[in-house]
Amino acid sequence: EKAVPLCKKAIRLNPLSVFTPTVYRDLGFAYHTCGDFQKAELYGKKAVELSNSNSIIAIDALRSLTITYNHWGKGDSVIKYANLYVDREPNALYETAEAYCNLKNDCAKAADLYKELWRRYPNHTFIHRWAVALMNSGKRQEANEKIGLALKEFKGGNDTLSYDYAGICALKGDKQTALKILSQWRWDWGSPYLIQHDKLFENIRNEKQFKEILKK
């Protein structure tokens, strides 16, 4: 909430700065984090409009917009905007795969996109997201192998209290640990909206405690 007036003040003081597209991107993402997706879309598109189409700023603005659409549940818009920068930024494949798995219920397509992502970007993190797509495509053995790699990655980085680690626990059936982490999670970057359709948490979606956490 504090970011919104500061971003607007920055734009008002210097509306033609080279940094203006970045400020619009930040303003859009601030609204996204607060759950006001209409304004997030408005300012996210403004950031894209003001950016040089070949610049890093343009890619950042487009990715921010695709993340907003992913959390908003608008799969077709994710795919549309991710395709505008996929040739320059491999993470566009990540956002598109997320949309196909979580929003369009085509996890086989998502698994292929994740495979291409890791081919182009072998050291990409969050391999458990690929595992979710594989699990929902019936490729359980390959999914379990990637879950093992994800657990090693998170434990090695001492990151065992995060949203995604909770999801890994939920995915492999450790409901108690997943719910414990979520009950203490700070719920930033739009995660309350993402989790509503995130297949990472399907194993605990009907748990009473999960529903209470989500409602809160």
Residue type, 107: C
Q: Give the residue-averaged pLDDT of 191-215.
A: 95
Q: Could you tell me the pLDDT band of residue 208, with boundaries at 50, 70 and 90? A: very high
Q: What integer pLDDT is reported at residue 199 of this predicted model?
A: 97
pLDDT digits (tens, 9 = 90+) for 148-163: 999 999 999 999 999 9
Q: What is the CB neighbour count within 10 angstroms for residue 183?
A: 13
Could you tell me how far CA 201 lies from the centroid of its own chain? 14
Range 72-80, long-range pairs (CB < 8 A, 24+ positions): 72/32, 72/37, 72/40, 72/41, 72/193, 73/103, 73/193, 73/196, 73/197, 74/103, 75/99, 75/100, 75/102, 75/103, 75/104, 78/103
Model confidence, pTM: 0.93
Per-residue model confidence as pLDDT tens digits over 81-136: 999 999 999 999 999 999 999 999 999 999 999 999 999 999 999 999 999 999 99
Residue 21 pLDDT exceeds 90: yes
Work out whether the CA dihedral 101, 104, 107, 112 comes out positive or negative.
negative
Whether the per-residue pLDDT at 72 is higher than 90: the answer is yes
pLDDT value at 210 more than 90: yes
pLDDT tens, 22-71?
999 999 999 999 999 999 999 999 999 999 887 899 999 999 999 999 99
Residue pointed to by tokens 């996204």: 32
